[in-house]
Amino acid sequence: MSSTWTSYKYREDGILPDGKKLPNIPIFNLVFIRNDVKKALIATAFIDTGFDETVYANDDMLNFLEGLEPEAKESLKGVEKEVECEVYKIKTNLITEGLKLIKGLGRVKVFVPEDPANLSDDIVIGREILNLLTLRLDGRYAEISV
Amino acid sequence: MRVTVSLPDNITKRLFEESRRTGLKVSQIVKTSLEEHMEMPEEVKVTPVALWKLRGRRYARGPSITARRKKVGTYYVVDLDKLQV
């Protein structure tokens, strides 16, 4: 049976003050679903094979999770320090850029640092999810096989 | 409850400097200091706790764990009934 590939164009990451262009970032799109408030967060997810876990939150996720009780507390080991996190479990689907469902990922652990200074700029997806997928990265497009 | 206390000039000066620097109200700084001194952390009423902390500050401080300097992803919230997934 042949597989179908879904493509996501890399995002540009800007230019440093010294003029150096940062490498573009592979992404795919996710939707996080809260049935209790009938809301969904449609998000760009940054592929980070260096991140051991599932999802690391940014400020958009923080606001989306307001009012939910964390299911656990865990610490992540950062480059220089331990980052204490609240862990939420959120129903998550992989979607196309046109918001079409590709694959349900179930209730995914979302790590929210307790100190807002440790929030990521963007939502990051780590290997606990990436290892469930067949990915193809070529520097221009991230492709997922379903 | 409103209370009146006497403070040395140097502490009062530092208190107002800290208020200007952080954007927090003087009463909030005093309250937080007393809670820490008496080991009585305020009960968290908002979760995630980072959201609760952010609302007590005007700005988030410190660097992000990422090396990037700005958000480049796209994020928006929609009503579930408007979504097919």
- More confident of the two residues A43 and A121: A43
Bridge partner list, A136: A143
Which residues in chain A have Cβ-Cβ distances shorter than 8 Å to B53? Answer: 114-116
Predicted pLDDT of residue A121: 86
**What distance in Å separates residue B84's CA from the closest CA in chain A?**
7
What are the residue boundaries of the structural domains of chain A, listed by start? 5-145
ipTM of the modeled complex:
0.74
Bridge partner list, A6: A144
CB contact under 8 A, B70 and A63: no
- Examine the pLDDT at B57 and tell me if it is beyond 70: no
Predicted pLDDT of residue B61: 39
CB contact under 8 A, A68 and B74: no
- pLDDT tens-digit series, residues B24-38: 888 888 888 887 787
Closest CA to A26 of A118, A146, A145, A143: A143
Specify the 3-state DSSP secondary structure of A143. Answer: strand
- More confident of the two residues A52 and A1: A52
Beta strands in A48-100, from DSSP E residues, in sequence order: 55-56, 72-77, 82-95
Q: Is B70 on the interface with A (CB under 8 A)?
A: yes
**What distance in Å separates residue B9's CA from the closest CA in chain A?**
32
Bridge partner list, A7: A143
Q: Is B45 on the interface with A (CB under 8 A)?
A: no
Whole-model pTM?
0.72
Which residues in chain B have Cβ-Cβ distances shorter than 8 Å to A99? Answer: 83-85
The CATH superfamily label for domain A5-145 reads Acid Proteases (2.40.70.10)
Q: Is B68 on the interface with A (CB under 8 A)?
A: yes
> E strand or H helix at B29, and its extent?
helix B26-37
